[in-house]
Amino acid sequence: MLMKRGSKESAAKAGILLAEIESLGQSPFTIMEVCGTHTVAIAKNAIRELLPKSIRLVSGPGCPVCVTSNGDIDRYLYLAAQKNVITATFGDMIRVPGTEKNLQELRAEGADIRVVYSTQDALELARQNPDKEVVFLGIGFETTVPTVAVSLEIAKREAIKNYSVLSMHKVVPPVLKLLAEDEQLLVDAFLDPGHVCSIIGIEPIKFMAEDYGKPGVVTGFEALDILEGIAMLLRQRAEGRSDIEIQYQRVAKPEGNPQAKMFIERVFERIDASWRGIGIIPQSGLGIRADYSPWDAARKFSLPVFQSRETPGCRCGDVLRGVIYPTQCPLFAEYCTPMKPIGPCMVSTEGSCAAYHRYAQRSVD
């Protein structure tokens, strides 16, 4: 619990913030966090239980693994099953279920699937296996995209022709716009993702406050960060303001990271992308530019587009949109568990369902 783990100074600060939240939070206020790391931190520190009942926290589409559509999953499973291909992936993708199987099951059947910790590991695999095609599965938001862009720059410079990336990257601002316009989702304010905004800055998300009246606070990932972010949002409401502010000032700057943005812009271009439970969101994905087409796995392997159905009964899409809590899914805990996941929200370490299951979060009405 929050109060038992921090120092006396932290506990005192938490008490002050909670008192302020109690004072400013007398009337209903719904806040959505749009980052999987926030989701886990909120669950781990039982922050929902510490807040007044008038303050409602809902989780949004902040887990990149979770928002990857079934069609994209089936696409990379199809590629991973091909002969002469080494699939390089981060570990949280191994057990994400497609329509029929997952990467772990493919590996048991003989597919060459390697867990890597960085794109540099994937590049090294390509150097060490010149007779194999090494494909890195590019899944993530703006936070991880710069490292993928750098890997493609290196592959091009060194003429590493057996390395490629299957880009399923997504960007946050378009999905925020969709959430703001969703009449089914009654959200008053947003805890904006600290890691993403450390790359893109706040300019790309200012429209949320200016056009839709949805204030946001770019927030860090410690329990005190999250409490302060909530308090800052409540202050805005009390003062009649709607702004995008930065709580996470030790990392995130208003301008973001210019060099990282330069790499993204040089290598990637905006494309329409499919999000689980949401569908196609225009200009919300990142495709590899034509100058880097020899290292674009989708082009290199002429991959088909899969129109895959969602798993019957799984309400991962509604969880990602903040329409329901994980505990309101009929499959939660009984049929869908971390050991035998049905949906990706139960697989990823940043998934809402996994966080609720692990930290025994109670359902919130």
Residue 281 has pLDDT above 70, yes or no: yes
pLDDT of residue 362: 47
Please give the Cα distance from 170 to 65 (Å, whole number).
Answer: 11
Element holding 352 (H helix, E strand) = helix 352-358
Task: State pLDDT tens for residues 156-203.
Answer: 999 999 999 999 999 999 999 999 998 888 899 999 999 999 999 999
Among 279, 284, 344, which Cα is nearest to 307's?
Answer: 279
Residue 296 has pLDDT above 90, yes or no: yes
Confidence bin at 287 (pLDDT 50/70/90)? very high
pLDDT above 70: percentage of residues in the chain: 97
Mean pLDDT of 47-71: 93
pLDDT of residue 178: 94
Task: State pLDDT tens for residues 320-362.
Answer: 888 899 999 999 999 999 888 888 899 888 889 999 998 864 4
Element holding 83 (H helix, E strand) = none
Phi, psi of 290 (to 5 degrees): -60, -30
Task: State pLDDT tens for residues 79-88.
Answer: 999 999 999 9
Among 137, 112, 101, which Cα is nearest to 122's?
Answer: 137
Residue 9 has pLDDT above 90, yes or no: no
- β-strands 133-138, 85-89 pairing: parallel
Amino acid at 42: I
Alpha carbon distance, N-terminus to C-terminus of the chain: 22
- List the strands of the sheet with 112-115, edge to edge: 112-115, 85-89, 133-138, 163-167
pLDDT of residue 31: 97
pLDDT of residue 4: 46
Amino acid at 127: R
pLDDT of residue 317: 86
Least-confidence region, from 16-20, 64-68, 112-116, 153-157: 64-68
pTM > 0.75: yes or no: yes
Domain definitions of the chain by residue range = 65-171+258-301, 316-358
pLDDT of residue 278: 86
pLDDT of residue 1: 47
In terms of pLDDT, which residue wins out, 145 or 7?
145
Task: State pLDDT tens for residues 120-144.
Answer: 999 999 999 999 999 999 999 999 9
Residue 260 has pLDDT above 50, yes or no: yes
In terms of pLDDT, which residue wins out, 1 or 77?
77
Confidence bin at 365 (pLDDT 50/70/90)? very low
In contact, 327 and 363? CB cutoff 8 Å: yes
pLDDT of residue 360: 61
pLDDT of residue 344: 86
- Contacts with 299 (C-beta within 8 Å, 6 or more apart), sequence order: 288, 293
Confidence bin at 363 (pLDDT 50/70/90)? very low
Among 320, 350, 317, which Cα is nearest to 39's?
Answer: 350
Q: Which fold has domain 65-171+258-301?
A: Rossmann fold (3.40.50)
Strands (DSSP E) contained in the chain are: 29-33, 55-59, 85-89, 112-115, 133-138, 163-167, 189-193, 216-219, 244-246, 268-275, 279-288
Element holding 328 (H helix, E strand) = none
Element holding 72 (H helix, E strand) = helix 70-80
Confidence bin at 6 (pLDDT 50/70/90)? low
Rg (the chain; Cα; Å): 21
Please give the Cα distance from 96 to 94 (Å, whole number).
Answer: 6
For residue 339, how many other CB atoms are within 10 A of its CB? 7
In contact, 274 and 71? CB cutoff 8 Å: yes
What are residue 192's DSSP bridge partners?
Answer: 218
Residue 294 has pLDDT above 90, yes or no: yes
Phi, psi of 194 (to 5 degrees): -65, -40
pLDDT of residue 186: 87
- Contacts with 234 (C-beta within 8 Å, 6 or more apart), sequence order: 20, 21, 24, 25, 29, 55
- What average pLDDT does the chain have? 93
